[in-house]
Structure formats: structure tokens, C-alpha cells
Amino acid sequence: MKITGVSAESISDSRGEKTILVTIKTNVGDFSASSPSGKSTGKYEAKTYKKSIEGDIEKIKQMSSYFSEEIDDFDDLKKIEEILAKQVGANTIFAFESAVLKALAEEDGEEIWELINKKPARFPRLVGNCIGGGKHSSLEKKPDFQEFEIIPDEKNVEKCFETSKRIKEKLKKILEEKDNKFSGKKNDEDAWAVSLNEKEVLEILKKEKVPVGIDIAASSFYGWGKYKYENPQFKRNKEEQLEYISNLIKNFNLFYVEDPFEENDFESFAELRARFPDTLIVGDDLTTTNPERLIKAINKRSINAIIVKPNQIGSLIKVKEVCEIAKANNIKIVFSHRSGETEESILADLAFGFQADFLKCGITGSEREAKINRLIEIENSFE
């Protein structure tokens, strides 16, 4: 496949904020892809844009003549990254590489996931954010934790999706009774925005008889050695945070716990994992889809699952490396959307191709459903 021209423009994500769309012209047609954008970002994430989205767009428009080499397979993305890495940011690289994969799949007469894995064996299980707080909620009073997730264990993706939607809709009526400030408003990820605290939310979810997860996003309310809770106001040091999260896991039988400590505290992650070997202790801000940070987390026994966000590292080659390292060390892989999403569905192909254990992409909203529907489409093609 040969790239003969490139262009880029800004589009609106699900928050109405700017993100990038890249289009490439090739010998097999024109292909476009967009990147999501995160709000709750880790300190160690790759830079979203080199200087600004406008700067990246202008740089891409100047680069048509840069791509002279043939691109034949997934690993040839290295050629793209060698050109782009010092020119543009992570979002732009991800959108560009996604467009390249679409072109390669078209040229080969294959699905995108087949460029990664010709014989995938299973489908990822859905992780659905149903109630939200933290940085993703605009309410003044809200849970300090960022996400409360339901993780159905059904026979196929479609059944998981149906279960998630049914529970989420049921929760609306329950929240109307339990939260006197609930108005049916949704947050950045189309999850219910509530004024309850984390324990009140977990009391509600516990009754649904479905595996439950939380994304604490602890770095977002950590500072000066303390976790600063607002609902209700309370400060916890790292030892107190460890005891608090441990009690939540025990009392609510939590299946999945993401970023329970700030992004440099590998030791507290490890202590929690040691206490609860059957609970998924998931690194996101801790690991930022970065092979070096994943290896550090493995060496310290900090996690048994990792969030993979392709635009978090700005390299699908490094995404491949992260997945290989995770599998070699029995670390579960959770491919994840971002809070500011687009209608782009390639995340489903990547999750399936790399044989992720889970796909975390919300439950409702067209941008979230695009990914789930694509995964269901792939699943149905095997029947």
C-alpha cells in the first residue's frame, strides 16, 4: 500500500471539544480515522499534540511527500512512527495509524483485526460505566470515584450489551428514589451523574447481582501526601486509603478496581493485590500503556490487569509490545475508550485482534455504542 497524500482537520468529540481526524490518500482509496481525547489523563501519558491541535493539523498537511515507502503489514507502522514521532502528538499518530490500518485491510481484503491476529480465539468481556463522578461529572456534589461499572459475564458480547443496557435503565428509576438531586443528567461518558458518595452508589449496585467494578482515578484527588475526599470531606493518607479500599472490596465483593492509588505508588498497588488476589487490580494512570511502566509494575507485583489506551502512548507498535508483555506475565488486558469519544470504531478491532480480556467503552451514547456494535458485528461474522 502506498500513501500518496495526507490531510487533517479538527472535529468535535462527544464533549463538544476539538479532536483530530486524519485522512490519507492511497492507491486503494481514501481512508479517515479520528482520535478520542481524555480529560482524566495520567502524568506519564504521551503528549496529546506536539504544541496544539492546530499545529499538528498544519504539520500533517505539509507531510504528503514524507511517506514514500510501501506499507505492507501491521509492523510497517514503524515506518510511519519514525516519520511522525518528532513531528506531531499522540492523538495525531493514533488517528494516522488507524487510517493506515483501514487502507491495509482494504488492500488485503481483510478485516482490520486480521492484520493483527489471523486466528483470535475469544472475545473481550464488556466493562460498562453506568454511574459516574470525579472529573467526568460536572455536578458540584458527586462521588469522588470516577466510574462505577457493571461487568456482565454472559455467553456472548451481544448478551452482555443487552444486560448492561437493561441494568443501566433500571438504575435510573432507583436513582430517582435514592438521590433527591438526581435529574437524569449524564456525565462525559453517558453514565448517570449523581450526587451520592461511592458507598451509596455501591450499595445500589450490590443489589443487581452482577460483577461490579470501580475506577477510582485516585491521582485526580491526591495531593501533598493525602487523598482529599469531598463527598463527604475527608483526608486519608496512603495507609488509610489502603484500608478504605480494602474494606470496599470486602463489603461489596468488588471484581475490578482501577487506579486505587496515585500514579507513583506501585507499593500500595502491590499490597492491595496481595490482599485480594482474586480481584482485578488495574493500572491506568500507573502504567499509561507504557512498556517500561508495565514492566516496573510487573516487577513490583503491583497489578494483575492493565488499561490499554492507544492514544495514551501514541504508538500502535508500543500497544503491541504492551499486550505481548502483559500476556507473557498473565496480566489481564483491558482496552479502553476515553471520556471524549468519536464515532470511530477501530478500538473494537484492536481489542479483538490483540485478544484483550475486556473492552471498556461505556454502555450508551452513539460514540460508545459504535465500538460495541462493531464488536458484535465481528462476533456475528463467526457464526
Point out the residues that are catalytic: 189, 309
How many Å apart are CA 278 and CA 249, to the nearest integer? Answer: 11
Helix (H, G, I), strand (E, B) or coil at 45: coil
Contact 122, 153 (CB under 8 A): no
DSSP 283-312: ESTTTTT-HHHHHHHHHTT--SEEEE-HHH
CA distances from 26 to 23, 31, 60, 63, 81 (A): 10, 8, 15, 14, 18
How many Å apart are CA 380 and CA 21, to the nearest integer? Answer: 29
CA dihedral 305, 308, 312, 317 (to 10 degrees): 120
The strand order across the sheet containing 3-12 reads 3-12, 18-26, 29-34
How many Å apart are CA 220 and CA 227, to the nearest integer? Answer: 9
CA distances from 98 to 7, 58, 61 (A): 14, 19, 17
CA distances from 182 to 25, 214, 265, 378 (A): 48, 20, 35, 37
Residue showing cell 516519520: 83
Which helix (H) or strand (E) segment holds residue 131: the answer is: strand 125-132
How many Å apart are CA 80 and CA 67, to the nearest integer? Answer: 8
Length of the chain in terms of residues written: 383
